[in-house]
Amino acid sequence: MSAEEKSLVDRCRQGDDDAWREFVDRFGQKVYSIAYHFTLNREDAEEVSQEIFLKTFENLHRFDGSFPLVAWLLSLSRNLCIDRYRRRKREKAFRFVSDDAVLPLLKSDDDPASETLKKERTKLLFWALAEIPEDLAEILVLRDLDGLAYEEIGKALDLPDGTVKSRLFRARAEVARRIRERHEKRGSAGAFQSLALAAGGVL
């Protein structure tokens, strides 16, 4: 936590418009990105970002400088993101991740073949994330998709670093298991289908 962050927050508290603009410019993209990973929808991500910044502004006086600013922002906004995530998870369409939802996550410099492959893998990743427990999915999103440090995640979720690490490992193992099982199921279904086709051809 730098003194510069504390001074920025203090200036925001005093009603300095320039300081608030700087705050938005510095953290707006990050917050939007996190919100998008939890909602996978542009409108929802915008709405959540606005709510997060509103809540942040109302709680600026609580910032004592003991946290990294981004972790503090996350700790305030965690419930908002998780609520949206749960709401989205309850929706029937959650497991069917659309192409439009993953398009903003693909780099524009990918060639068409690798873009298609990456799109499918990204859809599979979000499908698997919806299958595993929320507390594990949350950590995986923050670490692997948003690139936060263990310390930042720990502060944001109020967990020791060791717990963050072990949960992250479990999350990845769970995701890998879900994908493996899906692959095996699909493989056996495919084999059965080809057997049935062969039998049909013979008969």
Partner 1 sequence: MSCGELERLFLAGASGEDGRRHTKGCPTCRALAADVEATEQMSAGMQAPPLSPALRSKLLAIPRATVSCEGAERLLSLAIEKELGAEDERRLASHLSRCAACSEAAAVLFTSRELADPIAPPWLASRLTAARPRREKRLWAWILDPKAAIGLAYGAAVVVMLLGFNPADLARRVRAGDIGQNTRAAVTVAESSLSDRLGALQEKVARTFAVWKGRAGGYGRAAVSNAVSLIWKSSGTKDRSSERPRNRDGRGAFREKDTTTVNWRA
In one letter, which amino acid is 53? F
Count of H helices and E strands in the chain?
A: 9, 0
Question: Would you state the structure tokens that stand for residue 117, as one six-digit string?
Answer: 């492959």
Q: Are 176 and 129 in contact (CB under 8 A)?
A: no
* Phi, psi dihedral angles at 132 (to 5 degrees): -95, 165
Q: Smallest gap, in angstroms, from Cβ of residue 203 to partner 1?
A: 30
- In the bound complex, what is the minimum distance in angstroms from residue 110's beta carbon to partner 1? 9
Q: How far is the CB of 27 from partner 1 (least distance, A)?
A: 9
Is residue 190 part of the contact set for partner 1 (CB under 8 A)? no
- Closest to 120 measured CA to CA, from 109, 135, 110: 110
Interaction between residue 112 and partner 1 (CB under 8 A): no
Q: Is 26 in the site for partner 1 (CB under 8 A)?
A: no
Q: CB–CB of 156/142 below 8 Å? A: yes
Contact stretch for partner 1 (CB under 8 A) within 3-11, 33-41, 84-92, 194-202: 33-41
Q: Is 142 in the site for partner 1 (CB under 8 A)?
A: no
With contacts defined by CB under 8 A, name the span among 27-35, 64-72, 86-94, 189-197 that binds partner 1: 27-35
Q: With binding defined as CB under 8 A, does residue 42 bind partner 1? A: yes
Helix 161-202 to helix 150-157 angle (10° resolution) is 100
Cα dihedral 127, 130, 135, 137, rounded to 10, equals 10
Binding test (CB under 8 A) with partner 1, winner from 71, 128, 142, 157:
128
Instruction: Give how many residues touch partner 1 by CB under 8 A.
Output: 47
As a whole number of angstroms, the distance between CA 92 and CA 102 comes to 18
Closer by beta carbon to partner 1, 14 or else 66: 14
Phi, psi of 14 (to 5 degrees): -80, 0
Instruction: Check residue 184 for interaction with partner 1 (CB under 8 A).
Output: yes
Q: Which of 57, 87, 161, 194 binds partner 1 (CB under 8 A)?
A: 57
The answer to whether 21 contacts partner 1 (rule: CB under 8 A) is yes
Residue 106 binds partner 1, judged by CB under 8 A = yes
